[in-house]
Amino acid sequence: MGPATLFDKIWDIHVVRSIEGGPDVLYIDRHFIHEVTSPQAFDGLRARGITVFRPGKTTATADHNIPTREQELPIKDELSRKQVETLNHNCSEFGIEYFGLNHPKNGIVHVVGPELGYTLPGTTIVCGDSHTSTHGAFGTIAFGIGTSEVEMVLASQCVLQPKPKKMKITVNGSLQKGVTAKDIILYIISKISAGGATGFFVEYCGAAIEALSMEGRMTVCNMSIEMGARGGLIAPDFTTYEYLNRIPSVESRPDFKSLLLRWRSLKSDEGAVFDRELEFDASKIRPMITFGTNPGMGMAIDDTIPDAESQGEGKASFLKSLDYMGFKPGEKILGYPIDYVFLGSCTNGRIEDLRAFAQFVKGRKKAPGVTALIVPGSKRVEQQAIREGLDKILKDAGFELRQPGCSSCLAMNEDKIPAGKYAVSTSNRNFEGRQGPGSRTLLASPLTAAAAAITGKITNPADLLKN
Amino acid sequence: MSKLKFNILESTCVPLPLENTDTDQIIPARFLSAISREGFGENLFRDWRYDKAGNKNEEFVLNDPKFRGEILVAGKNFGCGSSREHAVWAIADYGFRAVVSSFFADIFRNNSLNNGLLPVVVPEEFLKRLLAMILEDPGTKVRIDLEKQDLTLLPTGESLKFEINPYKKECLLKGLDDIDYLLNIREMITAYEFRNTLRQ
Ligand code: SF4
């Protein structure tokens, strides 16, 4: 056998059977579910009169539809409450582990999996959620699926999947001050467009990727889906082992040593062939921001919005998008006043993100007129932030640390951005109405969000960084 | 459990000449709290169909009585973004049976196939012509033959082959479903697990 990519190595050993002229039957090591995309799958099982095939391999959390204040009280919105209760019932009926509201392990599904040690190198992970790609940071094949596929996994621990093509994205060099993992991925997407990696599974490599923490790597892999990729992964290395070594349930495993040995073999072989290869230079990346209504519409924060003529075929969609945002082609948006700031989501709701934000705002004050939602990605992140005193730093600067959940990332709960208002958001999607009907989202890093929260306008964080 | 069978569809089309239509537009998040599969069609493209006050946006194509049909013809990268299958349920519930585009997002395509909604990929240049034809004459009929894997513009007779995975084609033609298939190979899956217990 010739040299293989990391992706092939993991995929191939998970194929239970290849269907002639069809997809592969792929075995799934870990399945996550949440309240929004699972109820119809459980109904399907009931209709067929079958049980969950391997209940121990599915873990559930309530995250999309929950409030981020007063979680101790019953959920006010009736439909949301019903959906969360349904998940609870389904989990008890079918014997599935469930982290409901107020459970010490509750949180956004893609924050919870890694921090509990459920996300392990060399495994396959799926969830009825497109940002399942986050888990790829550990060298896993992780991807989002639809509800019919959730039902497949519940019924058989497998999904039928055509094997995607492979893309290698190398980010060489090192990042400048004020530039983060979020800027790397926003930069890449702006270069290859929101559909540029459709049909591919991406492997990220290069010095700038290797230099990232696990949190940073998760941010990068998380947004793979925003360029259309099925998922993205990063070969495990010392940073990965160290992260996993700190998780008691992983470190205490009797087979930990042999796992480590196996993880060391998880990399693409020299000379492995990818269907497409791209290279970027990290030192060229500046803090990024999006100005349109898909994540590919991004630019360096001090750049000007492209003109419409440069858009070719996409001109009409481009203009519609700018019209929605209230921007004009050729315009600069640096210094533009903003109304809301959202720090959180499975892209940037981990402890490192809260630390970066808190450190930035420490000794400063939130701009009057800015409403900020600071939402930890999980109960554990919340607790850790409190232990580190981040909540106090935030409070002194005029911010409130909320309770965990997806919150304003998709605004299914009450954390909505009002119509016409501008929000600098650390989440992953700037689609029309994503953060509430009529809301205008500018995607950016936690540092850029912090700079906007302090100044009340779009600001290059690098200009305000303390030395 | 069998899904809707698909074989031949002959219909007028509804044009949506926009690129990168994401599933948040197809069905906004605030309608995802439902726990059944029914009724999503009512809120298909909700925020494009209605303004904030709930008034019909007369300009939007679904509100334009000229355009009717079971085929949605959309710009490239259709169905990107969130994996919500609710988007497919909404399109199917509204009455569409096929979507034609030059390019579909992966998860959306899988979800469509799993629900008997046929995604038909055509070349960009053809898509443009098709959209122009429909806009010019809303009565333009298209015939999609899954068995033969071809799409025909009835007014001109121009016909074009499209790709579909042979397994998925079979499933759609027969109304079969992946879960039936997987349930039938549970023993093979168990054997796989047994061989791989050492792996982790
Ligand atoms: S935080 Fe946002 S992107 Fe992540 S799982 Fe929740 S809704 Fe999806």
| Range B63-82 average pLDDT | 95
Q: Give the pLDDT band of residue A312 (cuts 50, 70, 90).
A: confident
As for the ipTM of the complex, it is 0.90
- What tokens appear for A216 in the block? 């940073």
User: B71 vs chain A: nearest CA distance in angstroms?
Assistant: 21
Query: Residue B172's pLDDT is what?
Result: 92
Residue A36 exposed, middle or buried by CB count within 10 Å (0-12, 13-18, 19+): buried
| Range A133-151 average pLDDT | 97
Instruction: Could you please state the CATH topology (level 3) that the domain comprising A290-463 is classified under.
Output: Aconitase; domain 3 (3.30.499)
| Range A143-163 average pLDDT | 96
Chain A residues within 8 A of B3 when measuring between CB atoms: none
To 10 degrees, the CA torsion angle through B77, B82, B85, B86? -100
Q: So what CATH class is A165-284?
A: alpha beta
Are A19 and B167 an interchain contact pair (Cβ–Cβ within 8 Å)? yes
- What tokens appear for B120 in the block? 């038909």
Q: Is residue B15 a contact partner of residue B181, using CB atoms and an 8 Å limit?
A: no
Q: Give the pLDDT band of residue B4 (cuts 50, 70, 90).
A: low
By Cβ distance, the residue of A83, A130, A156 closest to B82 is: A130
Chain A residues within 8 A of B76 when measuring between CB atoms: 195
Are A145 and B107 an interchain contact pair (Cβ–Cβ within 8 Å)? yes
Share of chain A above pLDDT 90, in %: 95
Q: Give the pLDDT band of residue B2 (cuts 50, 70, 90).
A: very low
Closest-CA residue to A127 (of A63, A50, A37): A37
User: A314 vs chain B: nearest CA distance in angstroms?
Assistant: 7
Share of chain A above pLDDT 70, in %: 100
Closest-CA residue to B107 (of B89, B86, B81): B81
How far is A434 from A294, CA to CA, in rounded Å?
Answer: 10
- In sequence order, the β-bridge partners of residue A142 are A125
pLDDT tens across B20-58, in order?
999 999 999 999 988 898 899 999 999 999 988 889 999
- What tokens appear for B65 in the block? 């009585």
Ligand 1 atom 6 nearest Cα: A406
Chain B residues within 8 A of A53 when measuring between CB atoms: 186, 189
| Ligand 1 atom closest to the CA of A409, numbered from 1 | 2
| Range A51-74 average pLDDT | 95
CATH 3.30.499.10 boundaries in chain A? 6-161, 290-463
By Cβ distance, the residue of B103, B111, B181 closest to A148 is: B111
Determine the Cα angle at B32 with ends B41 and B79, to 5°. 65
CATH 3.40.1060.10 boundaries in chain A? 165-284
Ligand 1 atom 2 nearest Cα: A409
Q: Give the pLDDT band of residue B146 (cuts 50, 70, 90).
A: very high
Distance from the Cα of residue B199 to its chain's centroid? 38
**Who contacts A241 (Cβ-Cβ below 8 Å, separation ≥6)?**
A260, A263
Instruction: Tell me the backbone φ, ψ of residue B116, rounded to 5 degrees.
Output: 70, 15
Distance A345 CA to ligand 1 centre (A): 6
| Range A409-425 average pLDDT | 95
Q: Give the pLDDT band of residue A133 (cuts 50, 70, 90).
A: very high
Distance B175 CA to ligand 1 centre (A): 33
Are B193 and A198 an interchain contact pair (Cβ–Cβ within 8 Å)? no
pLDDT tens across B171-191, in order?
999 888 899 999 999 999 999
Closest-CA residue to A7 (of A124, A112, A92, A111): A124
| Range A434-454 average pLDDT | 97
Amino acid at A330: G
By Cβ distance, the residue of B85, B88, B106 closest to A37 is: B85
pLDDT tens across A21-58, in order?
889 999 999 999 999 999 999 999 999 999 999 999 99
Residue whose pair of structure tokens reads 């031949």 in the numeric block: B8
Strand order in the sheet with B98-101: B118-121, B98-101, B71-74, B8-16, B141-145, B150-153, B159-161
| Whole-number average pLDDT of chain B | 92
Are A198 and B84 an interchain contact pair (Cβ–Cβ within 8 Å)? no
Instruction: Tell me the backbone φ, ψ of residue A63, rounded to 5 degrees.
Output: -145, -40
**Who contacts A98 (Cβ-Cβ below 8 Å, separation ≥6)?**
A59, A60, A61, A87, A88, A91, A92
Chain A residues within 8 A of B18 when measuring between CB atoms: 316-317, 320
Q: So what CATH class is A6-161?
A: alpha beta
pLDDT tens across A247-283, in order?
999 999 999 999 999 999 999 999 999 999 999 999 9
- Residue A377 DSSP code: S
Sign of the C-alpha dihedral, residues A112, A117, A122, A125? Answer: negative
Pocket of ligand 1 (CB under 6 A): A 63-64, 108-110, 129, 131, 345-346, 406, 409-410, 427-428
Are A21 and B166 an interchain contact pair (Cβ–Cβ within 8 Å)? yes
Q: Give the pLDDT band of residue B3 (cuts 50, 70, 90).
A: low
> What is chain A's alpha carbon radius of gyration, rounded to the nearest angstrom?
21
Residue B88 has pLDDT above 50, yes or no: yes
Query: Residue A20's pLDDT is what?
Result: 84
What CA–CA distances, in Å, run from A252 to A122, A256, A272? 19, 7, 35
**Who contacts B53 (Cβ-Cβ below 8 Å, separation ≥6)?**
none
To 10 degrees, the CA torsion angle through B11, B13, B14, B16? 140
| Range B102-121 average pLDDT | 94
Closest-CA residue to B87 (of B117, B125, B57): B117
| Whole-number average pLDDT of chain A | 96
